[in-house]
Amino acid sequence: MDKFSIQSKNNYLFKIIWSKNYLGLAVDKKLQNNHTVPITTFFFWPRENGWQLLKEELSYKPWISKDESIDILNGYSNLINYWLKNVNEIEGITQLIRDSSNLNFELLAKF
Residue predicted with more confidence, 97 or 34: 34
pLDDT digits (tens, 9 = 90+) for 3-55: 444 444 568 899 999 888 899 999 999 888 888 999 999 999 888 888 899 99
**80, 54 contact by CB (below 8 A):** no
Question: Where residue 95 sits, what CATH number does that domain have?
Answer: 3.30.390.140
In percent, the amount of the chain with pLDDT more than 90 equals 35
The whole-number pLDDT of residue 109 equals: 79
Number of domains in the chain: 1
Alpha helices in 1-111 (DSSP H): 50-59, 66-86, 92-99
Residue 22's domain comprises 12-110
Note the pLDDT of residue 104: 81
Burial of 11 (0-12, 13-18, 19+ CB in 10 A): middle
